[in-house]
Chain A
Amino acid sequence: MDNKQILTINDLSCKIFRSKQEFTLSPITFTLNNYETIGLVGESGSGKTTLGRLITGALCNIDNGNSGVIVGGKIKYMDRYNYQNSRIRKQLHFPIQMIYQDPKVALNEFMHVREQIKEAAMLGYQKIKTDLSQEEWVAQKVNHLLEILMLKDLENHYPFVMSGGQVRRLGIARVLAVQPNIIIADEPTASLDASTKNMVLDYLVKYTNSRKKKDLPMGSIIISHDLDTISRYSDKILVMKNGNLIELMTKDKNYNFAPKEDFTKKLWNDNAFFSRQ
């Protein structure tokens, strides 16, 4: 299973025509290997979220049709499936999941925490192989997630009474409950302080490691403008600007990233300016 390409993006591009949202994403090519984390960096408006939604298929799902969006290129999942085909996505039970930037939008404000995770876990059950019944497995999974994401005390609460950080953890719990093979995390650390940032990304690492132990495929794409955190957790970094891929970097033998393009070099220096006093 190691080093297998679980996601291959070939010349993926899109053009959005809808008024107020015109945007062009130039052709992008990269691969995500098994147990790898790719960081996607760039300022707001560079196309990172658009790329993420393009991969999950959500971008083309607007208003039940493709109105206003033209897509080019290919997305290959597990080296054999065309992930752009909605029927295939459904058949595979949506193995590529997105953790949304604003966790509140993806949650039902009127369902309590336990119920939301349970609903997601019931979908996750369809993806796994186990001797346990659905009820048993779901209960176990829900309890486990409540525990590790520190939501046990909040299990009967509703999202609208929870703080931003707690809602974010609930969003992560819901996605992890679905047992995804690829997680695209959109700005998972936005608005979070230094401590909570690291906590959130540690969960993703723990999930990846647990899947590795069970020999199950796993990969993540972290979308962020926070270079510090991204460079620590990523194996590869894609730098984007105005819908274009500026540079694709891989870690050198010292586990550092060495930018070559001017734009990336400036970004790296400016980041160092803040992290090193």
Chain B
Amino acid sequence: MSLIKLNNLTGNISSNDSTAYVADKISLEIEKDSTIGILGESGSGKTQLAMTIAGLNTAHYKMESGTIEYTFDDSDPFKVTSNKSDFDSNQIPFSELSEKLKKDKIYGNKIGIMFQDPGKSLNPFWTIGRHVEEIILTKDSSKKQNYETRKNDIFKALKLDVTFDKRYPNQLSGGQQQRVVIALVLLSEPDIIIADEVATGLDASVKRELLDYFLYVKNHTKSSLLIISHDIGLLTKISDRVILMYKGAAIQSLDADIIKSVILVTQFYNSPFFKSNDDLKNKINSDSDFDSISKELHPYLKGLLRSHIFKVPLSGDIPDPKKRTGNKCPFTDRCSDSSDECEESFPNLKLKNHGWVRCFNFDENNG
């Protein structure tokens, strides 16, 4: 069952001077108890997607078309739509999403959000204990004891000492602040946790710890995770599925395992061990060329992986979000596999191996 379902979501962000087209017919589903990674460069619209789902950009975002459906337990399902004639009790305009999420107490309880700089989410004048108290205050007073127990369990799992209760955010390191924010979000047992670029700016050791905590969330809680990042290494470690974004469009959804296996196989074929082992080379018949190994991947993802493994940058520049893509594939200009078809239209979703892709280079299959 989907918690949140996006259907052809198209939208833009306007400021006084210009408009950026940040969403181009995005369709995706976030199921219960799943972990989804959203992968894309800066300017791909991935952060705006998270903000839109969480109703945090209602002041500037204009929904041009499409719908977002929210289905949470213990809560009436509702739909956000841009079509005025559809407004009724369970269909609302995007501009009212934030109010609805507040009124129905969805913020914090059903949707939890974590941002890149944890320091900015914490009140510098409150101790960590006070932060916890504030959250418990918003809950049913009869369940207070449950929350106290829950808090102790979570703090233990995230290696947060009891002494943290009395400490202020500026007395904690960046990594500790990050863990505190995770703990506070988990306290409310949200159905879905949105984490926007939370691993950016962290060194490998702190990132690894963060991964452990996310794995705890994934394996020991019922919260779904929506992790937004440009870090392929992190996303493939934690996600079940990865959705690739480019210039506001979601262009591929595939199992994270597929990406992992491409990386593993490529690294193996390029290892000194394999290269010097003629015997093994003869026994393995399949082509060790990167292009053949990565044929399940959209050309853009192929390019990103090539950068990740071989340190070779993609040619070209990310397109200007202030220009509409029009009716063509947004990646055409940088794609080495593009054809005339790609300049004329942008294909719809093609089902492929438990996922989908929007590219003419792929044939549809139901595998």
Contact = CB atoms under 8 A, between A and B. Distances in A.
A and B in direct contact, judged by CB atoms within 8 A: yes
With most chain B CB atoms within 10 A of its CB, the pick from A194, A227, A266 is A194
Interface residues of A, number: 38
B367 to A, nearest CB: 23
A199 B307 CA distance: 10
A165 B313 CA distance: 14
Given A45-B174, A232-B311, A277-B263, A225 B203 contact: yes
B322 interface: yes
A202 interface: yes
Contacts of A165: 41-43, 317-318
Interface stretch (B78-86, B145-153, B183-191, B231-239): B231-239
Contacts of B173: 45
B307 A274 contact: no
Nearest to B208: A270
A180 B158 CA distance: 46
* Chief secondary structure at chain A's binding surface: helix
B200 interface: yes
Nearest to A42: B203
Interface stretch (A56-64, A91-99, A111-119, A185-193): A185-193
A259 interface: no
Nearest to B236: A277
B31 interface: no
Interface string A35-60: 00000011111000000000000000
A161 B203 CA distance: 30
A199 B320 CA distance: 18
Contacts of A270: 204-205, 207-208
A163 B321 contact: yes
Contacts of B230: 191-194
A195 interface: yes
Interface in A119-134: none
A194 B232 contact: yes
A160 B15 CA distance: 11
A110 interface: no
Interface string B312-326: 111001101110000
Interface in B151-208: 170, 173-175, 197, 200-208
Interface in A235-277: 266-267, 270-271, 273-277
B308 interface: yes
Interface in A209-243: 225, 227, 229, 232
B75 interface: no
B310 to A, nearest CB: 9
Contact of B203 (A20, A41, A195, A275): A41
A187 B233 CA distance: 19
12 contacts: A163-B43, A165-B42, A166-B317, A190-B200, A191-B230, A192-B230, A197-B313, A202-B313, A274-B207, A274-B208, A274-B231, A274-B237
The 6 closest A-B pairs by CB, nearest first: A274-B233, A225-B203, A194-B307, A271-B204, A193-B230, A270-B204
Interface of A: 20, 41-45, 150, 160-161, 163-166, 187, 190-199, 202, 225, 227, 229, 232, 266-267, 270-271, 273-277
Given A161-B18, A270-B204, 10 more contacts: A44-B202, A193-B40, A193-B304, A195-B41, A196-B313, A198-B312, A199-B313, A273-B204, A274-B231, A277-B233
